[in-house]
A and B are shown apart, each in its own frame.
Chain A
Amino acid sequence: MSAQITVVVAADGTVHAETHGLPGPACLDYIAVLEDLLDATTVSSAYTADFHHARSTVEAAEVVRDVDRR
């Protein structure tokens, strides 16, 4: 999946942004990039289901490797 950032600028001036397909903590780097681009401050942030799904996949792969070592 190619990396994308979706930005929604509401009519009241507030901004919602979401990263997609950025590997690992690279998505966190874009918090500062977006704050600078938008001249804005992040008031809340949350990992999406994608993030948890990707992390679960990594953790599952690590468990499999541990089993293989035995």
Chain B
Amino acid sequence: MSVSLLLVPVALAAAAAIQARASGGEAKGTICTVSTRMRDSALLATALRETGAVVTAATDVVDAAWQGVEGRFTRGADGVWTAHFRGDVDETRAVEIVQRLDAAYGRQVQAAVLDRLRDRAPAAGLRLESETVTDDAAVRLVFAVERQERA
């Protein structure tokens, strides 16, 4: 018998869409606020650096600077980070930045999940039989069940 599952790591918000809204009138230019699906601050900081940003991270605020654009990330009550951009940026550019960041963040989550899986699977009675990378950069792992768990 088989069951098929779709799982979302806790580092990702389950339901999220990248949406921007702009508010003008600031002395330094338009501020664009973009929602994200990111929850993990360490992975966020690493992903930001991957996009070429200079990053300053505190507990609930992460600042990032690209050429001509500054971003401040704040954590909401639901634990999800929201991006606020100012400088040479409009809604389209802000969404592009967050989409690039989201791709980098996804790769960080993928690496973290794979590390955790490889590390912890043996203790759960799972023996890694094969590991392959697919054309779309997903990683496929096949485990043999060596002893059956009762959860």
Contact = CB atoms under 8 A, between A and B. Distances in A.
Contact of A15 (B113, B129, B148, B149): B113
B18 interface: no
Interface residues of B, number: 45
Interface string B43-54: 000000000000
A8 B140 contact: yes
Contact of B14 (A28, A30, A38, A43): A43
Given A7-B141, A29-B149, A39-B10, A13 B2 contact: no
Q: How large is the interface on A (under 10, 10 to 19, 20 to 34, 35 or more residues)?
A: 35 or more
Q: Is the interface of B mostly helix, strand, loop or mixed?
A: mixed
Interface string B92-122: 0000000000110111111001101100110
26 contacts: A2-B145, A4-B143, A4-B145, A8-B139, A9-B113, A10-B106, A10-B136, A13-B8, A13-B106, A13-B108, A18-B5, A24-B1, A26-B1, A29-B148, A30-B151, A32-B151, A37-B120, A37-B121, A39-B11, A39-B113, A47-B3, A48-B2, A48-B3, A48-B4, A50-B1, A51-B2
